[in-house]
Amino acid sequence: MSSEKLTWNVDATGLRVAVVVARFNYEITSRLLAGALAALKQAGAADADIKVVHVPGAFELPVAAKALAASFDAVVALGAVVRGDTPHFDYVAGEAARGIQQASLETLKPIAFGVLTTETMQQALERAGGTSTKTDAGDLTLNKGFDAANTAIEMAHLLNGIRSKA
């Protein structure tokens, strides 16, 4: 039995990555998108290897992510679901999570979950880079879009490594 270790790798050079972002709560999701794009650029992704697709809301993320996974090494799914006074939050957040996981499992492609599920808009803003205006993404150490893009890159390398060793 081999004990070869697959290591953490966030080098996006040569990877094709799609980012699917919900328009609903766009003041938050636009910051998540800026964070994801910043991560991809920092990791060496070429502009030609990045595709951004917008969907109406978080509920629509899974189907778009699954379609994109057919042509890309990894997908980053970004959205923001903020609790309101109705049970709508529970349905949308849960189904978005389930659908994204199902799409990833069915395609065997990494689809990083960058969907915020918060109680308030303030909490969502904090997880989308905070109130810092350093960049459109805010403070990248607080931006979950940045984290999701790095997760997508890492998982693309991990899965490619597993496939090449099989």
Q: What's the CA gap between 122 and 142, in Å, rounded? A: 13
Catalytic residue among 27, 46, 63, 88: 88
Three-state DSSP state, 8: coil
Q: How do beta strands 17-22 and 74-82 pair?
A: parallel
Phi, psi values for residue 68, rounded to 5°: -70, -35
Is 88 annotated as catalytic?
Answer: yes
Q: What's the CA gap between 99 and 118, in Å, rounded? A: 19
All residues at 6 or more sequence positions from 46 whose CB lies less than 8 Å from its CB, including other chains: 13
All residues at 6 or more sequence positions from 107 whose CB lies less than 8 Å from its CB, including other chains: 66, 69, 70
- The catalytic residues are 88
